[in-house]
Amino acid sequence: MRPINHLRPFVVSLFLATVVPCATVATLERARAAEGGKQQPTPLDSDTVELRAAANEVFQAIPALVPTVKDNPVTREKVELGRMLWFEWRLSASGVISCNSCHSLAAGGSDNVETSIGHGWQKRPRNAPTVFNAVFNAAQFWDGRAEDLRSQARGPIQAAVEMASTPEYVIGVLSSIPEYRQRFATAFPGEPDAVTFENVTRALEDFEATLITPAARFDQFLEGNLTVLTIEEKRGLRLFMETGCAGCHNGINLGGQAYFPFGVVERPGSDVLPPEDKGRFAVTKTASDEYVFRAVPLRNVALTAPYFHSGKVWSLEQAVAIMGTAQLGKELTPQETGEIAAFLRTLTGEAPHIELPVLPPSAARTPHPQAVLRVPTSPGGAPEAPGLR
């Protein structure tokens, strides 16, 4: 098995989020002290140097190299297999839905609709999170119920409102196609029967680990390019830290590390926070976890509208304003929301260049897809077994 030479594993240390805002006046004062004794640049440059020092205490740049994956070494063979499986619509019961259907690599790693459409034209209850940089999250899904990308991959394939498949059906499809049997054997050498559902998820995990977006303008700023941000963007960055946004949205992904109530100070209306979706409570069954969600990662947020788990907000400025009142108890002015949104748009990185794979043809014994023309319903008229993201 050949290691990925051009994507050598890179150990990434995650910055753990805390409830306390991570960039305060004290942080900025430490930055000023660190600059003491050095030749002072112009006042504008001094402010920029100070801002960069403060930002580097709170955030981390996306690395250019693929990070390591726990208990699943990233290899060229697994990544190539995972790329094929990512676009493989035959894994779904209907034969029309793939991973890329809801997490389009051409659309910021999401699908830019309120909630995705799944098996039998069923509408999902939550907005599809971006897959870009998901490898850096502490857990997956809005409620954090999957501990890693491998666990996450199992869910949508089997969810009745997504791909509506089963492990047995997936293995039946893949094992019936000679090229897939060969690719699994190459990617997982030494296994007597490499075409397993576990290996499907391991290949998908390794492929998803490569979907990172380095070189955002904000990353360039963190790494020392002091002229890459505009005055408005730098004001937005300072506001983002000093108003408390960075208390939840920090580290390498500006979020994705910890859980917080949606409505720390003031709960949003039911149009943004549907009362029937109680977030992490569905996972833990703990009363204090009602309406608690994982802090959304803000990388590439300009590409992933609409916003929030309900997908009800299409404007980035409006989303910033809602978070100000709901989480911080602050009525941000239009100028402040505009400046913060301007900063958030600097988080758009370089998308990975993914070549669309040519998938092998079905064989005579490949299972046929199921034609689904309407949503199966329970006696009460509701869709059966609604899943969550």
Residue pair 50/32 in contact by the 8 Å Cβ criterion:
yes
Structure tokens at 347: 């988080």
For residue 21, is the peptide bond before it cis, meaning its omega torsion is within 30 degrees of 0?
no
Domain identity same for 123 and 50:
no
Query: How many separate domains does the chain show?
Result: 2
Domain identity same for 195 and 259:
no
Instruction: Tell how far CA 166 is from the center of its chain.
Output: 25
* Mean pLDDT for all residues in the chain: 87
Q: What is the Cα–Cα distance from 59 to 143, expressed in whole angstroms?
A: 23
State residue 118's pLDDT score.
87
In a domain, 341, yes or no: yes
Domain identity same for 173 and 254:
no
Give the model confidence (pLDDT) of 153-166 as tens digits. Answer: 999 999 988 999 99
Domain identity same for 262 and 335:
yes
Q: What is the Cα–Cα distance from 36 to 150, expressed in whole angstroms?
A: 48
CA nearest neighbour of 273 among 309, 246, 299: 309
Domain identity same for 151 and 224:
no
Give the model confidence (pLDDT) of 63-105 as tens digits. Answer: 999 999 999 999 999 999 999 999 999 999 999 999 999 999 9
In a domain, 251, yes or no: yes
Domain identity same for 218 and 204:
no
* Predicted TM-score of the model (pTM): 0.84
In a domain, 85, yes or no: yes
State residue 370's pLDDT score.
86
Query: Domain with 239 in it: what CATH number?
Result: 1.10.760.10
In a domain, 1, yes or no: no
Look-up of token digits 């689904």: 372
In a domain, 70, yes or no: no
Query: Range of 275's domain?
Result: 39-62+214-347
Structure tokens at 115: 């909630």
In a domain, 140, yes or no: yes
Give the model confidence (pLDDT) of 312-348 as tens digits. Answer: 999 999 999 999 999 999 999 999 999 999 999 999 9
Domain identity same for 111 and 232:
no
In a domain, 376, yes or no: no
Over residues 347-370, mean pLDDT: 96
Domain C-terminal end among 209, 242, 275: 209
57 noted as active-site residue = no
Q: Which of 13-27, 36-50, 105-119, 345-359 has the lowest mean pLDDT?
A: 13-27
In a domain, 21, yes or no: no
Domain identity same for 173 and 235:
no
Which of 80, 88, 162, 233 is catalytic? The answer is 162
Domain identity same for 241 and 337:
yes
CA nearest neighbour of 252 among 313, 311, 297: 297
Over residues 50-60, mean pLDDT: 98
Domain identity same for 195 and 271:
no
